[in-house]
């Protein structure tokens, strides 16, 4: 065994898992999109297993409410970039691999160029628009996507877009979820999540990546694994062998318009902007930067509070819920000018404990 592969001796002791297979891991390039609850454990185990190049894409910063489930970070990281902090920690864990931080927001303008540099995409995001975008980019570029999602006590994992022997492709996200009204589905900040579930689902995602790279095991392609951490029961639902959707280009119609913190401050000074906090009452009471306050699921019932001729800048902790609010406004009140504060309060007040 190569001396620099001593750390992998236990996995190389597996039947059929020899130096050739370890070499496949060393040569692989994996992109993890989202360095949160799922991305942290997935990245840790892919790093430990010796995946040669790992890219981590996330434009968010660490907040205090992340720490119960995003285990790569600690109190001293609050306000710092998740992508760069994660790469720094993981590089210490395994100096023999290459880690690349992509501190960018994934959009239809940059995702194709980004995923073209990798073999496999791991979807560790927490919103529907990102999942559709990642799925579609995977289909267009011919890259498999390992999907994971968590909410409260429930989690899901699937492997999308794997090439079949007959030249067809396995199902993708749109085969299972053709359309989802994201505004009606609370995220973890609102609905909550048990922290251990993030570790379980993230590890299963990493497991599927290793299986794809090494050509071992039975993939979750054409299947959806569901796991209930409350009852400790799991099911594997068969979806089918081939996709029934046709995806030839990215959908750009649902992307929320954003504004930077500096631009928003200038607009406030000139009186052209009204801030709107879409976080929970508890979050708003703990810290806010003024303006109106409606929780995300209350906006549709309060459209009368918004007037034409003003620019409303919606904000939350990271920019995710505010983006959902902007899309809701575009759908329900298209005459109202609505923008999402890019990066949320983490960009407005770097280092603030959210």
pLDDT at 352 over 70: no
Determine the pLDDT at residue 325: 92
Spatial distance between the Cα atoms of 69 and 269, rounded to a whole number of angstroms: 38
With a CB cutoff of 8 Å and minimum separation 6, the contacts of 293 are: 276, 277, 281, 284
The answer to whether residues 107 and 221 belong to one domain is yes
Range with top average pLDDT, 191-200, 213-222, 246-255, 321-330 = 213-222
Inter-residue contact 341 to 319 (CB < 8 Å): yes
- Looking at residue 345, what is its pLDDT? 87
188 is catalytic: yes
Residues 20 and 134 in one domain: yes
User: What is the pairing mode between strands 337-341 and 258-259?
Assistant: parallel
- pLDDT of the residue at 354: 46
Query: What does the block give as tokens for 306?
Result: 């918004």
- The string of pLDDT tens digits covering residues 189-219 is 556 789 999 999 999 999 999 999 999 999 9
Measured torsion, CA atoms of residues 24, 25, 31, 32, in degrees rounded to the nearest 10: 150
**Residue 97 token pair:** 């691999």
Residue 159 and residue 37 share a domain: yes
- 207 and 338, same domain (yes or no): no
C-alpha to C-alpha distances, 35 to 76, 87, 101, 126, 194, nearest whole angstrom: 17, 10, 10, 10, 17
pLDDT at 238: 96
Counting the structural domains of the chain, the total is 2
> In terms of domains, do 331 and 289 share one?
yes
Q: What is the pLDDT of residues 5-48, one digit of tens each?
A: 899 999 999 998 999 999 999 999 999 999 999 999 999 999 99
Same domain (yes/no): 217, 116: yes
Asked if residue 49 belongs to a domain, the reply is yes
317 and 231 part of one domain: no
Mean pLDDT across 301-309: 91
Q: Domain for residue 326, yes or no? A: yes
Q: What is the mean pLDDT of the chain?
A: 91
Give yes or no: residues 158 and 92 share one domain: yes
Q: Is the pLDDT of residue 182 over 70?
A: no
| Whether residue 194 is found in the same domain as residue 296 | no
Is the pLDDT score of 254 beyond 70? Answer: no
Catalytic residue list contains 124: no
Query: What is the extent of the structural domain holding 113?
Result: 3-238
Residue 184: is its pLDDT beyond 80? Answer: no
Note whether 100 and 55 are within 8 A (CB).
Answer: yes
Q: Are both 84 and 186 inside the same structural domain? A: yes
Q: Is the domain of 217 the same as that of 102?
A: yes
- pLDDT of residue 52 exceeding 60: yes
**In-domain check, residue 353:** no
Residue 302 pLDDT > 70: yes
Output the pLDDT for position 27.
Answer: 98
- Residues 136, 266, single domain; the answer is no
CA atoms of 345 and 287, how far apart (whole Å): 9
How far is 317 from 111, CA to CA, in rounded Å? 23
Asked if the model's pLDDT at residue 185 lies above 60, the reply is no
CATH code, 80: 3.40.50.720
Q: Show the DSSP H helices in 142-293 as ranges.
A: 173-176, 188-191, 195-214, 261-270, 281-286
Mean pLDDT of 303-326: 90
Model pLDDT, residue 180: 67
Residue 354 lies in a domain: no
The CATH number of residue 270's host domain is: 3.40.250.10
Beta bridge partners of 154: 151, 228
pTM for the predicted model, two decimal places: 0.81
């Amino acid at each position: 065994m190569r001396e620099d592969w001593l750390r992998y001796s236990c996995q190389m002791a597996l039947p059929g898992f020899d130096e050739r297979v370890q070499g496949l891991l060393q040569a692989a390039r994996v992109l993890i999109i989202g360095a949160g609850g799922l991305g942290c454990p997935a990245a840790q185990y892919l790093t430990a297993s010796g995946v040669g190049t790992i890219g981590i894409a996330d434009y968010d910063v660490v907040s205090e409410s992340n720490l119960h489930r995003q285990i790569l970070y600690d109190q001293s990281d609050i306000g710092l970039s998740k992508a760069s902090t994660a790469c720094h920690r993981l590089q210490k864990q395994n100096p023999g691999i290459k880690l690349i931080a992509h501190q960018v927001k994934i959009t239809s303008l940059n995702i194709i160029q980004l995923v073209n540099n990798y073999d496999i995409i791991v979807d560790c995001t927490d919103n529907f628009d990102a999942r559709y975008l990642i799925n579609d980019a995977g289909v267009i570029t011919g890259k498999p996507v390992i999907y994971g999602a968590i909410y409260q006590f429930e989690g899901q994992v699937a492997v999308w877009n794997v090439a079949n022997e007959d030249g067809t492709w396995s199902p993708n996200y749109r085969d299972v979820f053709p359309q989802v009204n994201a505004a009606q589905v609370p995220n973890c900040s609102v609905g909550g999540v048990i922290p251990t579930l993030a570790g379980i689902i993230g590890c299963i995602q990493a497991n599927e990546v290793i299986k794809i790279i090494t050509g071992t095991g039975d993939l979750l392609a054409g299947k959806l694994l569901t796991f209930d951490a409350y009852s400790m029961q799991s099911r594997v639902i068969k979806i089918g062998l081939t996709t029934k959707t046709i995806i030839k280009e990215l959908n750009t119609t649902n992307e929320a318009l954003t504004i930077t913190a500096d631009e928003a401050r200038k607009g406030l000074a000139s009186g052209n902007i009204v801030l709107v906090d879409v976080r929970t009452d508890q979050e708003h009471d703990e810290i806010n930067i003024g303006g109106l306050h409606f929780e995300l699921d209350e906006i549709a019932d309060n459209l009368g509070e918004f007037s034409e001729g003003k620019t409303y800048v919606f904000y939350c902790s990271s920019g995710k819920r505010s983006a959902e609010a902007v899309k809701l406004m575009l759908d329900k009140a298209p005459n109202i000018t609505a923008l999402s504060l890019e990066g949320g309060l983490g960009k407005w007040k770097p280092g603030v404990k959210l």
